[in-house]
Structure 1
């Protein structure tokens, strides 16, 4: 009994499921700050022997990849109600903008969407609406998840390398992740506002009457996009 109790109170027995479950949950239902979960786990791995940094990175990558695949499956094959649920809180003009970018750049947008704040959901909505092929999406999503997990793990490693205390390193890593995310969000919002001002000054587009709204009216199927060279 004592061995069983020790195993359940060991930091690795608790930490690894928290990393995988927290990132997976936050990738499907954005209620968990997934970057903070990865950064805090990396800080703990750097300052203690309770977690292995490599395993934290692997679990975070797999969880993010699985969450993106599940979200894409809903966007690609789900009914109108499911798509509206994914698109809740998203602006129609932002989704339409990402769809046009997706047509031009394909898998690169999947990688960028995972790394940029508030970019993942519009990209997956666009990929689903355009029936982007699974064999192209999954490798691109895996690369995106690996880069994303590595970036936030690096913040935790830096924090753990500066502070010897696991608790302090975890708190600092979490704060750094939130600060970086906030700064990126503000920068992205400022760029969108500047783009909208330029569009307003140039006048309404020729297809202003077209309804591309994904979150309200289900977009008409566009068919599979042509295959483009992507990550193997």
Structure 2
């Protein structure tokens, strides 16, 4: 290799900074994970976004990287919701249903679906604004919209601010985790812990209410309307 060629190679290697490499790898990975989580609600997308935001907080150009995390996460979530709703809509219109519609139904219990349908009937498409912010609230509301045969364009119009609010909320959680600790991995752990606690809170509260509403073991409830005789 000539001296000029070596100098060119060295200049090119310097031009590709670690931040550029992380952008090239991190943004596509974030997009794919959030998109997959929107289509198959197994990946904890909130934790993914919070982790990426915590790492972005420690970059030299934190503002630009944080804006990139927000844009990529919101775009992936919006696209995933659009694709899933379109696939579910095909099942609603078909006499035989579809595999995707069946999968959506399997993830929703009757009670959450009934509540989502009631809110949809009362508030219309505005119910979508908080559907993503409530843990486990996205799929019941989506199924309620599908069963009500809401057009795709109307669903997407109501879902856009919901997606933006969701991305902003989990990014703020990640930035909070990043601000509390000096090392990125510590911020990631804090962000994931906060996200999982928020996701688990409704389940814990629901089970606590159910436990408090049940009579104590071995103690039958007293019959109503009966009074003791003196």
TM-score by length of 2: 0.75
Question: Which string of whole-angstrom CA distances, capped at 9 and with x for unpartnered residues, describes residues 37-80 of structure 1?
Answer: 11011111111237700010011111111111112112222242
Q: Which residue of 2 aligns with 1:156?
A: 174
The answer to whether the 8 Å contact 1:87/1:125 transfers is yes
Match of 1:168 among 186, 189, 199: 186
8 Å CA contact 2:86–2:152 kept in 1: the answer is no
Of residues 46, 50, 53, the one that matches 2:66 is 53
Q: Does 1:15 align with 2:33?
A: no
Q: Choose which of 108, 126, 131 in structure 1 pairs with 2:144.
A: 126
The corresponding residue for 2:52 is 41
2:221 — aligned with what? none
Q: Name which structure has the greater RCO, CA cutoff 8 Å, separation 6+.
A: 1
Shift of 1:92: 2.3
Rg larger for: 2
Q: Does 1:107 align with 2:129?
A: no
CA offset at residue 186 of structure 1?
Answer: 2.8
2:164 matched residue in structure 1: 146
* Pairs aligned (count): 194
Of 123-132 and 50-59, the range deviating more from structure 2: 50-59
Task: Map 1:78-89 onto structure 2 (within 5 A).
Answer: 78=91, 79=94, 80-82=97-99, 83-89=101-107
Aligned-pair CA distance for 1:7: 7.6
Unaligned runs of 5+ in 1: 198-232
Q: What's the C-alpha RMSD, in Å, of the aligned pairs?
A: 2.6
Structure 1 runs (4+) deviating above 3 angstroms are 1-4, 6-9, 187-191
Contact 1:98/1:126 (8 A) holds in 2: yes
**Cα distance change on mapping 1:14 and 1:7 into 2, 3 Å:** farther
Query: Distance between the aligned counterparts of 2:155 and 2:149, measured in 1?
Result: 10
**Residue-by-residue CA offset, 1:175-227 (whole Å, 9 max, x unaligned):** 11111211134335667x59x99xxxxxxxxxxxxxxxxxxxxxxxxxxxxxx
1:30 aligns with 2:48: no
User: Structure 1 length normalisation: TM-score?
Assistant: 0.75
How many angstroms does 1:113 deviate by? 1.4
Ranges in structure 2 where 5+ consecutive residues have no aligned partner: 1-8, 215-230
